[in-house]
């Protein structure tokens, strides 16, 4: 009887087989398909390494990093953070809407999330162009090389995220293509993009 | 009597059958497959031990030091890269068998050809050019140091900096895997290929950086890229093997 | 049409945005060009806040709150190792 309860209450997560988990939550659930979590967890580890390497080089030239950091526009950094947080909220809400069967709402929220993503890219492009105009390029010094490379590879992830959200939207539009696993996987990826930016913002713009 | 014989032999026969069935797949494909790990093992020995390109010598050295590098490693460069130019076809074979299995996917052949084209173009700057440059450098003993320095830079910049072709190939590979309904390769291998693209992007600064993490010998542009490439390559070889095993022996030839 | 889940998500977002505004205030002078001076307490606060923001995103947006224990442990471990590492190198 307990086995049957376990079988119906969990959804595909191998670790949730102990009785205690059933008492905590009726549905222990890994959103999306397991493969996207390979991407997310692996990417977090890889970026974690990049962040630690950044800190090591910062420790070798703290004064230069501090001085260079002054030239970053913190207002734009904050704006970008808020934009990405809002986009994550839209995407999280779209997953909830899709689960509830309201696919029209889920689609609208996916579009809104994507729109914020586009806004992020536009703001970032503006920020880069002002920095380059002021003479701070990738070869200016170590700080700026890290700045352009970290934000650049993050921007690549944002673009990929927009592609994924686009695929989610395309599937949501067609009742025959809808898959909750796709909506969830796309959302998981997008939240990872948001999470990485939080770290980048803290390391490059704020900490001193 | 025949009953006892049949009951005695049938379980072992069926286990033998199962064992044989697991190692199915087509014999010609298996032959080609084994060339892949053989080639990359040789590649590893050549690039790490003989040619000393992995890890690469530093960019932030004087001309004299570059000259010294070629003098010190002249013999092993000749042996290693001399062998490489002979066996380089192994890279083509590796690409070929990946393409073979990609063509078995439901996404059709277009992405397979994108992979093949990109990887083939990438082989010149990404593998052969450093071999030719270094072989040229050690070919005549009294060569002008300035020319040696040029060959040093040219070889190593092309080796570490040849990113675009491979990124395109990885992207085609990832898209094909994600859309394939025949499950030739596991979906997460597509994401490992995306990490490969990330490492290529992070190698772009080698063209401006002389030292530090983004130089051609840097912790980010070189080391992390190499580690992730090693992981990707291992996964690809393992899953090529599994794709071979799972291929029905009587599958129709691909067109 | 706000369900409990939607409300929770919105609260998490509000908290995250509020923390971001606080970071803005902690940053090296929000007027551009103001001198940045190294400050251990501020960096400590930044690291702590970033840890909290990260955990909020992971737990609430990525839904790790209702995920199997191994995923909770892994993500917490990642956050801890990352920020402890950053702090250790900063203080060294």
Residues in C 4-63 with any Cβ partner in A closer than 8 A: 5-6, 9-10, 12-13, 16-17, 20-21, 23-24, 26-30, 32-39, 42-43, 46-47, 49-50, 53-54, 57-58, 60-63
CB contact under 8 A, A195 and C58: yes
* Mean pLDDT across chain B: 89
Q: Kindly report the nearest CA distance between residue C11 and chain A, in angstroms.
A: 10
Residue length of chain C: 92
Determine the pLDDT at residue C89: 96
> What residues of chain B have any CB closer than 8 angstroms to a CB in chain A?
186-188, 190-192, 194-195, 197-198, 201-202, 204-205, 208-209, 212-214, 219-220, 224, 228
From A13-22, A104-113, B19-28, C42-51, the region with the lowest mean pLDDT: A13-22
Determine the pLDDT at residue C56: 97
Cβ–Cβ contact A75 with C under 8 A: yes
Residue to mutate among A39, A84, A202, A204, with most C CBs inside 10 A, is A202
Which CATH code is given to the segment(s) A34-206? 1.20.120.80
Mean pLDDT of A115-126: 98
Q: Which of A164, A81, A121 is nearest to B194 (CA)?
A: A164
Q: What angle do CA A40, B55, A140 make, to 5 degrees?
A: 70
User: Predicted confidence band at B14 (pLDDT cuts at 50, 70, 90)?
Assistant: low
From A75-84, A112-121, A182-191, B120-129, the region with the lowest mean pLDDT: B120-129
Tell which wins on pLDDT, A178 or B3.
A178
Mean pLDDT of A176-199: 94
Mean pLDDT of B170-179: 96
- Nearest CB to C36; choose among A27, A69, A198: A69
- Nearest CB to C33; choose among A28, A70, A102: A70
CB contact under 8 A, B205 and A145: yes
| Percentage of residues of chain B with pLDDT beyond 90 | 78
Give Cα separations from B127 to B158, B180, B255 (angstroms).
8, 30, 30
As for how many domains chain B has, the answer is: 1
User: Predicted confidence band at B108 (pLDDT cuts at 50, 70, 90)?
Assistant: confident
- Nearest CB to B212; choose among A142, A153, A157: A142
Determine the pLDDT at residue A29: 85
| Percentage of residues of chain A with pLDDT beyond 90 | 79
Mean pLDDT of A3-27: 44
Q: What are phi and psi of A29, to 5 degrees?
A: -150, 130
For residue A29, give the 3-state DSSP assignment: strand
CB contact under 8 A, B187 and A43: no
Q: Residue B117: CB partners within 8 Å, gap ≥ 6?
A: none
Per-domain residue ranges for chain A? 1-30, 34-206
Within a domain: B131:
yes
The alpha-carbon radius of gyration of chain B (Å, integer) is 22
Within a domain: B15:
no
Within a domain: B16:
no
**ipTM of model over 0.90:** yes
Q: B206 with B131: CB under 8 angstroms?
A: no
Q: Could you tell me which chains touch chain B, where touching means 3 or more CB pairs under 8 A?
A: A
Q: Kindly report the nearest CA distance between residue A195 and chain C, in angstroms.
A: 6
Determine the pLDDT at residue B248: 86
- Please write the tens of the pLDDT for every residue from C57-80: 999 999 999 999 999 999 999 999
**Cα gap B44→B42, rounded to integer Å:** 5
**Cα gap B70→B51, rounded to integer Å:** 10
Per-domain residue ranges for chain C? 4-91
- Domain region containing B227: 26-246
Residue A13 has pLDDT above 50, yes or no: no
- Chain B residues with CB under 8 Å of A51 CB are none
- Chain C residues with CB under 8 Å of A86 CB are 13, 17
CB contact under 8 A, B212 and A145: yes
- Please write the tens of the pLDDT for every residue from B65-88: 999 999 999 999 999 999 999 999
CA dihedral (A127, A133, A137, A140) positive or negative: negative
- Chain A residues with CB under 8 Å of B191 CB are 35-36, 38-39, 42
Q: Kindly report the nearest CA distance between residue B198 and chain A, in angstroms.
A: 7
Residue to mutate among C19, C33, C66, with most A CBs inside 10 A, is C66
Quick one: closest CA in C to A17, which residue? C68
Determine the pLDDT at residue B5: 43
CB contact under 8 A, A43 and B214: no
Q: Kindly report the nearest CA distance between residue A177 and chain C, in angstroms.
A: 23
Determine the pLDDT at residue A177: 82
CA trace torsion A187, A193, A198, A201 (10° rounding): -150
Determine the pLDDT at residue A11: 42
């Amino acid at each position: 009887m307990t086995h049957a309860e376990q079988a119906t209450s969990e959804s595909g997560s191998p670790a949730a087989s102990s009785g205690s988990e059933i008492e905590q939550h009726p549905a222990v659930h890994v959103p999306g398909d397991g493969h996207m979590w390979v991407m997310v967890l692996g990417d977090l580890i890889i970026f974690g390494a990049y962040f630690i390497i950044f800190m090591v080089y910062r420790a070798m030239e703290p004064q230069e990093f501090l001085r260079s950091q002054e030239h970053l526009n913190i207002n734009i950094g904050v704006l970008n953070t808020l934009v990405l947080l809002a986009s994550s909220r839209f995407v999280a809400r779209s997953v909830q809407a899709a689960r509830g069967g309201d696919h029209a709402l889920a689609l609208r929220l996916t579009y809104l999330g994507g729109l914020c993503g586009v806004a992020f890219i536009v703001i970032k492009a503006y920020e880069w162009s002002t920095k380059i105009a002021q003479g701070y390029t990738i070869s200016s010094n170590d700080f700026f090389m890290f700045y352009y490379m970290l934000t650049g590879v993050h921007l690549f992830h944002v673009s990929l995220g927009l592609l994924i959200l686009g695929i989610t939207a395309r599937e949501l539009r067609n009742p025959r293509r809808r898959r909750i696993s796709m909506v969830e996987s796309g959302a998981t990826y997008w939240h990872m993009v948001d999470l990485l930016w939080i770290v980048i913002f803290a390391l490059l713009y704020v900490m001193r | 009597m025949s009953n006892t014989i049949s009951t005695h032999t049938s379980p072992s026969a069926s286990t033998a059958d199962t064992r044989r069935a697991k190692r199915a797949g087509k014999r010609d494909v298996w032959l080609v497959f084994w060339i892949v790990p053989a080639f990359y093992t040789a590649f590893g020995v050549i690039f790490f031990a003989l040619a000393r390109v992995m890890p690469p010598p530093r960019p932030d050295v004087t001309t004299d030091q570059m000259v010294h590098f070629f003098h010190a490693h002249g013999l092993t460069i000749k042996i290693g890269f001399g062998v490489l130019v002979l066996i380089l076809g192994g890279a083509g074979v590796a690409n070929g068998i990946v393409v073979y299995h990609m063509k078995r996917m439901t996404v059709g052949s277009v992405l397979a050809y994108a992979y093949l084209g990109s990887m083939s173009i990438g082989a010149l700057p990404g593998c052969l050019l450093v071999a030719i440059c270094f072989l040229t450098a050690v070919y005549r003993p009294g060569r002008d140091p300035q020319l040696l320095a040029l060959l040093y830079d040219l070889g190593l910049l092309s080796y570490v900096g040849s990113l675009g072709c491979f990124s395109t190939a990885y992207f085609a590979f990832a898209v094909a895997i994600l859309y394939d309904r025949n499950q030739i390769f596991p979906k997460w291998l597509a994401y490992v290929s995306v990490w490969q693209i990330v490492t290529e992007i992070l190698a772009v600064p080698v063209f401006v950086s002389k030292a530090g993490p983004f130089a051609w010998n840097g912790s980010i542009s070189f080391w992390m890229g190499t580690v992730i490439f090693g992981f990707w390559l291992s996964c690809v070889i393992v899953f090529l093997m599994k794709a071979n095993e799972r291929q029905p022996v009587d599958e129709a030839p691909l067109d | 049409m706000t369900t409990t889940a939607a409300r929770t998500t919105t609260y998490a977002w509000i908290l995250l945005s509020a923390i971001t505004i606080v970071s803005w205030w902690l940053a090296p002078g929000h007027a551009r060009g103001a001198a940045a001076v190294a400050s251990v307490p501020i960096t400590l606060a930044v690291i702590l806040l970033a840890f909290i923001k990260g955990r909020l995103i992971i737990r609430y947006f990525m839904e790790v709150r209702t995920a199997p224990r191994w995923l909770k442990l892994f993500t917490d471990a990642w956050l801890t190792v990352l920020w402890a590492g950053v702090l250790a190198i900063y203080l060294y």
